[in-house]
Amino acid sequence: MSLRPESTFWRRSSAPLGTALLLGGILLQGAVASDWPCWRGPTRDGKSSEKGIGTSVKPLWSVKVGQGYSAVTVSKGRVYTMGNDGSNDTVWCLNESNGKVVWKYSYPCTKGGDGHTGPRASPTVDGSTVYTMSRTGIVTALSTSGKKIWSKDVPKEVGAALPQWHLASSPVVSGSSLILNIGKAGVALNKKSGKVVWKTGKDASGYASAVFATSGGKKILAMFGAKALYGVDPASGKILWSHPWETKYDVNAADPVVSQSNVFISSNYKSGCALLSLSSSKPSVRWQNKSICNHFNSCVLVGDCLYGNDENDLVCLALSNGAEKWREKRALGKGGLVYADGKLICLSDRGELFFVKASSSGYSELRRGKAVSGQVWTPPVLANGKVYCRSHEGDLACVRVK
C-alpha cells in the first residue's frame, strides 16, 4: 500500500436541496453552486439544484487518472475518483479549480481479464471520510486528508460470490452504516470500523447501488440482486420482499428510480422497464414495456418524464403510464446523463458532451461538442458550475458551464 501526499492543493452536500445559500460562499456568476459528494449526486437521483447552467463544451482542465469507470465526486473544493494502472487501484484527490493532485492512495488490485478494466464504483464522501470500493470488493475508508482509516476484502469476509463482471455499486451511507451491494441483497458495515453489521446471503449481487425508498409506509433499501429487486430493512438487513426481474447475464446495473411510493426499474438485453407500486407491503406492477432498456446508466426523472438511454437512443417516457413521448436515434449510446436548470446534461459513449432541453414536447438539442476521447460509459457529473467527463482509458476533463 502507498500513501503519497503532494505539495499542491480535487460526492453529498450537507445543505438541503434547493437552498438559497451558495455552498462555501462560492459565487459562480449568478449560478447556485452545489457539491456532488456521492454517486448520482446530492439526492442520489442524477439531479442538481444548480441554476445559471450554460452550454459550454470546452474543457477547463484535463488529467489522466488510470483505467476504469469510476465517476467523480466533489466535496469542499476537492474532486475524488479512482483508476487502475494494471497492478494497483489508485484513489485520486484533485484540486477542483485546476485538477492538480492533492493526494493519492494506492493498493494492489489487478486490472481484471474481462476486457473491462479498473474500478466501477465511485467514491462516497461523508463528512471527513471518503469510502471507496474496488471491482473485487476491497472497501476502504480514507480521511479527506488521504490517511487510511480501515480497509477490508468484504466478499471474502462474508463469503459472497462475485458477479461475472465484478462489483460496480457505489457505497451508500445510512446513519452509522455503509451499505454495499455485495451478496444476495447487500451488506452493511459499520462506517467507522468496517465491522459487518448485517449480510443477506452468499449469492452474486446485481451491479446497481442501493436506493432509499418507502414501501408500505416504511423506509427501505431498494436493492437490485442478480435476478430480482429486493426490499431490504436498512437497520437489520431483513429482506422484506422480492420482485422477480431476470435479465440476460444477470445484468441489473441501472439504479432504481424512486418517485413517492413508486419505483421505476429498467435493464438491457431487451428486458425493458416497469413501474412498481410500493404502497402496500409487497410491490405490484403499475405498467411494464420495452420502450427503455437501461444498460449501465439510470434514467433521470423530471416531473412526470423519465429521460434515459434505450440501447443507443435517448428516450423520453411518461412515468405515469409508460407512454413514449419522443426518441432521438443514436444520440447517447451507452453514455449517461444528469439534470439541472431545465437541461439534460448528456455525455455520449463517444465522448460528446451535449445539452438537451428537458421537455416532453420533443427533442431539442442546445449544443454539442467533443469533451473527452475514448470509450465513455461513465455518466457526467455537475458540481459548482463544472461538468466532469471521464473515459474508460482514464482521461478526465473538467468543463466550466456558466
Is residue 273 a part of any domain in this protein?
no
Q: Which domain holds residue 23?
A: 2-260+295-400
Total domains present in the chain:
1
Q: What is the distance between the alpha carbons of residues 335 and 353, in angstroms, rounded to a whole number?
A: 10
- Please say if the pLDDT value at position 23 is more than 80: no
Q: What is the distance between the alpha carbons of residues 122 and 41, in angstroms, rounded to a whole number?
A: 11
DSSP 156: H
CB 94 within 8 A of CB 63: yes
Is residue 250 a part of any domain in this protein?
yes
How distant, in Å, are the alpha carbons of 22, 203, 259, 287, 309 from that of 123?
24, 24, 25, 34, 24
pLDDT at 354: 98
Annotate 268-287 with DSSP letters as a single string.
TTTTEEEEEE-SSSS-EEEE
Alpha helices in 34-168 (DSSP H): 154-158
- Please say if the pLDDT value at position 18 is more than 60: no
pLDDT one-digit tens code per residue, 369-382: 999 999 999 999 99
Instruction: Name the one residue in this structure whose C-alpha cell is 473491462.
Output: 116
Instruction: Name the one residue in this structure whose C-alpha cell is 470488493.
Output: 137
Is residue 283 a part of any domain in this protein?
no
pLDDT at 33: 65
pLDDT one-digit tens code per residue, 289-342: 999 999 999 999 999 999 999 989 999 999 999 999 999 999 999 999 999 999
How distant, in Å, are the alpha carbons of 180, 210, 273 from that of 237?
11, 12, 26
| Strand order across the beta sheet in which 73-75 lies | 2-5, 101-108, 88-95, 78-84, 73-75
Is residue 125 a part of any domain in this protein?
yes
Is residue 290 a part of any domain in this protein?
no
Average pLDDT over residues 140-144: 98
Annotate 284-298 with DSSP letters as a single string.
EEEEEESS---SSSP
Is residue 141 a part of any domain in this protein?
yes
Q: What is the distance between the alpha carbons of residues 185 and 177, in angstroms, rounded to a whole number?
A: 15
pTM value is 0.91
Is residue 89 a part of any domain in this protein?
yes
Q: What is the distance between the alpha carbons of residues 217 and 206, in angstroms, rounded to a whole number?
A: 25
CB atoms within 10 A of CB 236: 11
Beta strands in 225-351 (DSSP E): 228-232, 239-244, 257-259, 262-267, 272-277, 284-289, 300-302, 305-310, 313-318, 324-328, 336-340, 343-347
Grid coordinates given for 144: 479527506
pLDDT one-digit tens code per residue, 202-219: 999 999 999 999 999 999
Q: What is the distance between the alpha carbons of residues 311 and 201, in angstroms, rounded to a whole number?
A: 32
CATH of the domain at 305: 2.140.10.10
How distant, in Å, are the alpha carbons of 113, 365, 398 from that of 338?
31, 15, 15
Is residue 289 a part of any domain in this protein?
no
| Strand order across the beta sheet in which 148-153 lies | 124-126, 129-133, 138-143, 148-153
